[in-house]
Structure 1
Amino acid sequence: MKRKMRRLVGLVALATLALATPGVEAQLLSDLAEAAENLLVRPLEAAWDATFGKAPDAAGTVYLELLPNATETGALCLDGSPAGYWFRKGWGDGKDKWLVFLEGGGWCFNEQDCYERSKTILGSSKQWAQTRSDRSSQIFSADPKENPDFYNWNLVDVAYCDGASFSGNVAEPITVNGEEIYFRGKNILEATVWHLKYGKGMTFATDVVLAGCSAGGLATLLHADWFETRLGPSVKNYKAISFSGFFPDTPNFQGEPWYPSVMKYVYEMQQVDIHSPGCLADNMNEQYKCFFAQNQYRHIKTPVFLANSVYDMYTISVIYNVSQQTIPENENNLVVPYLNDKSRSLWDLISWTGTWWAGKNGGFLHTCFTHCAGCLTDSGWSGVKVDGMSLRDYLGLWLRNQVARTREPCVYTLGEPFQCNPTCPPL
């Protein structure tokens, strides 16, 4: 061991002397990195696995990690508090496999809205729980019967506190009501990846899945290709899963373009940073359109699985503005035909792309009036069936590089019970 340490020290000295010599420093630094890994990192990793790389307690507890260098890296929530994530170490054959999950929670649509959001857990880390149970989501479960594909992977549940799908990139804080508000979502994502690699061992990952739900599902589509560029050479399998992240760019039931206009404002307000050369080039004069799933999805190069309802609850109630409070009684008969038309339009937006049909990709499109239920609830994860298989079943096939793609969804009936899939929860 002493001999190896002397070799490491010698390499450090040689590398320092060679930095000014073209063509020499690269090999020395490579040797230095290899020696450091063998002498320092691998033993530390082995010690960590021996102590913590075991099956979790009965509650499947995940633990909060605030980013220690948040101020220096700009990885700050809306209120300036440090961003972070909940973590559980993988074990067994999952010790080098990583599920990085981006939480959702909508967006803040203007400066005042972001200020108000900064007083909540969606804009500040000050009141985040120190621990969570894996029961908060089925995809987090440590039970192999419930979650056969991810149960023993390293779990990273990235907290959402920037209000723009981990995409804001404004250098200086703005002032609202006399207080500073930070738009640093992209910094949060960058600093999180760095901390996972050099603080938690993701440098040695062999398999990585980036996933997210709702605003986090959109973030997954926006950043899937960029995220891969931040991973190490040990990663052999990298994929992305978007749950309920496909929000269409469309007018609402009343014919007003509310959602497109507010998302354009968010894009400009937070100076959204999206690494997608193809999409940005296709929308050269309207690059904010790359903040919409339908435009970003067609340009994703990462193998991607899309899990979405064509009657998504958030989309219907917020984007379409369809609810008991917003629809006059004399127009009730128009609602089901309107929703059916929208469901077909959503299917077209998805299926008319090469992304949907690419052999490496998969998807589970259903008709349940839910939002994020696929990864969060028993019914959405394993109860709802399309052609006799659940979302969990389709995901399992896709992770094994098999064909896993549902057909065109059915449409609502014009009479009771309206729902066309009997396995969906009641409306």
Structure 2
Amino acid sequence: MVRERDGVHVPQGEPPRVFESHGEAAGVPWHPELQPRREPCWNRVMIRYCDGASFAGEGYDAGSRVYFRGQRIFNAAIQHLLSIGMNSADQVLLAGGSAGGLSAILHCDQFGAFFAGRSTTVKCLADAGLFLDAVDVAGGHTLKSYFGGVVATHGAAQTLPRSCTGHLDATSCFFPQNIIGSIKTPIFLLNAAYDTWQIHESLAPDVADHGGAWRACKSNRLACNASQMKVLQAFREQMVGIVQGAFSRSKGNGFFINSCFTHGQSKVPATWNAYGSPTIHNKSIAKSVSDWYFGRAEVRAIDCPYPCDHTCHNDI
């Protein structure tokens, strides 16, 4: 986002601000599980989230003279990386968490198009990016209303996948459930079935929780009563149903949906690959993503419902 009156701009020819790393940093931790056994030379770049719309903005507010340029930032960053060597990469992975996970979903095919005509292996990883259009505890659609404001403010309608906007409204197309089935580039969905951000902000937000009946449950899962747990299990079932739908029909896709109360599991070793990290069928997240990326195994892991998983690192 750039304000004209602030005089903030990026001069032509100046590369976008990205961070390159060969070691630990925010994002997918660097670990041998995510590199092929014979090709240890990988580079990692973190593009800081900065636009407020998962790099999908392409709007302008004439009244305040504010530009929303998330899509252009994404394009500029990728083009810069291509210019300094990524164009010769044999394997690439676009990964993101939370809003970045949503961005990885929205831009997966766009990212793949940058490598069209090349033999590059291109795949995407979305961690905690599977935001659902869920009915909140008051019967409304709090998150859809919020996303509607984001899409309208940022002018994101024109950048969203046309495979979706051709038959659904733009706000609906900001929800992964309406686009993951048509993504052509292989993508891996990593998500907690009881996503704590969505429980707090979409399923039982304060505006829908009249009287604060959900306050204790949102702070401690052990405080959830039977009726609240029924709502949480229905949320999990909605997520599982979406993943097992059209998305699962593409053999190149993979997923790891565990029954944990958390939001984001790829950022730190404790939940990615450390001893005692979350597993499904005794396989860690890092091993699952690695097996999927390098084609060693098909990975379509869905956990049994809470409370059966004792490997979770729960936030509440």
Give the structure-1-normalised TM-score: 0.62
1:359–1:403 contact (8 Å) kept in structure 2: no
Question: Does 1:226 find its partner at 2:110?
Answer: yes
Cα offsets for 1:355-411 (capped at 9, x unmatched): 223211111110111111233342244511101111111111111224433344322
Q: CA separation in 2, counterparts of 1:270 and 1:170?
A: 5
CA spacing shift, 1:173–1:295, aligned 2, 3 Å: same
2:58–2:69 contact (8 Å) kept in structure 1: yes
Q: CA separation in 1, counterparts of 2:298 and 2:122?
A: 17
Deviation at 1:171, TM superposition (A): 4.7
Identity among equivalent positions (%) equals 26
Q: CA separation in 1, counterparts of 2:187 and 2:242?
A: 16
Structure 1, unpaired ranges of 5+: 1-68, 76-81, 90-132, 413-418
Q: CA separation in 2, counterparts of 1:406 and 1:151?
A: 26
Runs of 4+ in 1 over 3 A off after TM superposition: 146-152, 171-174, 232-235, 322-326, 328-333
Q: CA separation in 2, counterparts of 1:290 and 1:151?
A: 38
Counterpart of 1:70 in structure 2: which amino acid? V
Counterpart of 1:424 in structure 2: which amino acid? C
Q: Select the residue among 17, 25, 32 that pairs with 1:84.
A: 17
Deviation at 1:302, TM superposition (A): 0.4
1:205–1:235 contact (8 Å) kept in structure 2: no
Counterpart secondary structure, 2:255: strand
Deviation at 1:226, TM superposition (A): 1.1
1:162–1:168 contact (8 Å) kept in structure 2: yes
Counterpart secondary structure, 1:368: strand
2:160–2:170 contact (8 Å) kept in structure 1: no
Report matched runs for 1:8-27 at 5 Å.
none
Give the structure-2-normalised TM-score: 0.83
Q: Select the residue among 292, 307, 310 that pairs with 1:398.
A: 292
2:102–2:126 contact (8 Å) kept in structure 1: yes
Question: Which residue number in structure 2 is paired with residue 365 of structure 1?
Answer: 257
Q: CA separation in 2, counterparts of 1:381 and 1:187?
A: 34
Q: CA separation in 2, counterparts of 1:165 and 1:326?
A: 32
Report matched runs for 1:70-109 at 5 Å.
70-72=10-12, 84-88=17-21
Report matched runs for 1:105-116 at 5 Å.
none
Report matched runs for 1:28-43 at 5 Å.
none
> Higher helix proportion, which one?
1
Structure 2, unpaired ranges of 5+: 1-8, 217-222
Q: Select the residue among 263, 275, 278 that pairs with 1:384.
A: 278
2:125–2:189 contact (8 Å) kept in structure 1: yes
Counterpart secondary structure, 1:238: strand
Question: Does 1:247 find its partner at 2:136?
Answer: no
